[in-house]
């Protein structure tokens, strides 16, 4: 019998908590989020904030990063993503604070909620419950509800759809509903190509996982929407596949990181460079990504390219996120690790709580 792990289902105990099913449900998550926000649209405490600051961590923050990537060239005011305990000084009573926590109990987000309240910053929340929901209810703050019971990283689209609709509610972008419906249909069709039921011989996500197994992934992209997708890929590779990873963008990486490739060695030969491509990438970025990939290949890295598909920005972003989520699942299976398990985070939180109590 071959010792090479199979990527064909059923996965049984290798995925005992069902991460594969959660990734396969991306189209349904989009549709459910659309229905939920149709039924309960945003109620904003001010009409024209000087900026929007979204406070959150991990899977709760990436929705804001992806939204910023989608609309950065169109939004008339700054959009900040704050992954910290404290707001920057520019967040004021003229701003809108968005508190995002899937569980509602994220330590940093609750600290930001308290900070916004103390400063008199108008705020809204997005959560499945917990302390954040309780505080929002007590203060009469509008709260967008998320479904509970799944890891925050697997609930991305439940948060991403309403956050993009927040931009529309502000009047900063058109209603994203039609684009999201395209994205859901495309994701459902793409599942037949990259999902678990598609055999490795015909499945580009399984093939990429096989090619990247045993290597450290570097995800390179242009700025804009694909930069936030590269961060999402890195996070999924961290949490699902239990791999260290790295992401960077052009043109910045061509002014510093490329020198790290200069003296090729064993480390460089152990890297897989994955280049994310989008039809809207500027010509300068397209050229730079191509030259960077060529150089990394000459220095011994394995280089791969993944192209976004779809008409709208939202659909193309979804296609890349969906591919990366499947890639992280298949790398977990090849590595013999549970894609849902986050023992290291749980252990860190326990030790942090112990240290805080001892102070």
> Shortest CA distance to 62 belongs to which of 101, 110, 115, 32?
101
Of the residues 13, 255, 263, 354, which is catalytic? 255
Question: Does residue 255 carry a catalytic annotation?
Answer: yes
Our measurement of the distance from residue 304's CA atom to the centroid of its chain's CA atoms, rounded to an integer in Å, reads: 20
Encoded tokens for 137: 């209810």
Using DSSP bridges, classify how beta strands 123-127 and 96-101 pair: parallel, antiparallel or unpaired: parallel
Q: Which of 137, 280, 347, 349 is catalytic?
A: 349
User: Helix, strand or coil for residue 270?
Assistant: coil
Helix, strand, or coil (residue 282)? coil
User: CA Rg, the chain, in Å?
Assistant: 21
Place of tokens 């011994």: 300
203: left (phi over 0), alpha (psi -120 to 50) or beta: beta
Burial readout 245-267 (b: 16 or more C-beta within 10 A, e: otherwise):
bebbbbeebbeebbeebeeeeee
The token pair at 298 is 């000459």
Element holding 303 (H helix, E strand): strand 302-307
Instruction: For residue 316, say if its preceding peptide bond is cis, omega within 30 degrees of 0.
Output: no
Residue among 226, 328, 310, 237 nearest 22 (CA): 328
Is 143:130 a contact under the CB 8 Å cutoff?
no
User: Catalytic: which of 239, 294, 304, 307?
Assistant: 239
* Whether residue 239 lies in the annotated active site: yes
CA–chain centroid gap for 326, Å, is 13
Tell me 254's DSSP state: G
Q: Annotated catalytic sites, by residue? A: 239, 255, 349
């Amino acid at each position: 019998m071959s010792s090479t792990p199979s990527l064909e289902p059923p996965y049984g105990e290798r995925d005992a908590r069902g991460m594969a099913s959660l990734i396969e449900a991306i189209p349904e998550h989009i549709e459910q989020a659309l229905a939920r926000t149709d039924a309960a649209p945003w109620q904003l405490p001010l009409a024209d904030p000087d900026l929007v600051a979204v406070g959150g961590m991990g899977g709760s923050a990436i929705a804001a990063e992806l939204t910023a990537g989608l609309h950065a060239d169109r939004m008339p005011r700054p959009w900040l993503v704050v992954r910290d305990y404290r707001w920057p000084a520019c967040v004021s009573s003229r701003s809108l604070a968005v508190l995002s926590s899937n569980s509602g109990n994220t330590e940093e987000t609750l600290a930001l909620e308290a900070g916004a309240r103390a400063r008199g910053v108008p705020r809204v929340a997005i959560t499945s419950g917990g302390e954040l929901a309780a505080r929002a209810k007590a203060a009469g703050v509008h709260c967008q509800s998320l479904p509970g019971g799944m890891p925050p990283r697997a609930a991305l689209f439940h948060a991403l759809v309403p956050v993009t609709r927040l931009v529309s509610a502000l009047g900063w972008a058109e209603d994203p509903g039609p684009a999201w419906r395209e994205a859901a249909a495309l994701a459902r069709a793409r599942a037949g190509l990259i999902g678990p039921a598609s055999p490795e011989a015909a499945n580009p996500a399984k093939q990429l996982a096989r090619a990247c197994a045993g290597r450290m992934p570097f995800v390179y992209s242009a700025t804009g929407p694909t930069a936030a997708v590269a961060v999402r890929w890195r996070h999924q590779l961290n949490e699902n596949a239990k791999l260290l990873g790295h992401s960077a963008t052009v043109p910045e990486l061509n002014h510093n990181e490329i020198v790290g490739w200069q003296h090729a060695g064993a480390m460089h030969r152990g890297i897989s460079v994955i280049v994310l491509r989008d039809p809207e990438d500027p010509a300068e970025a397209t050229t730079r990504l191509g030259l960077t990939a060529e150089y990394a290949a000459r220095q011994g890295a394995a280089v791969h390219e993944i192209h976004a598909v779809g008409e709208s920005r939202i659909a193309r972003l979804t296609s890349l996120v969906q591919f990366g989520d499947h890639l992280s699942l298949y790398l977990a299976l090849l590595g013999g690790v549970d894609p849902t398990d986050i023992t290291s985070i749980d252990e860190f939180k326990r030790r942090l709580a112990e240290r805080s109590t001892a102070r």
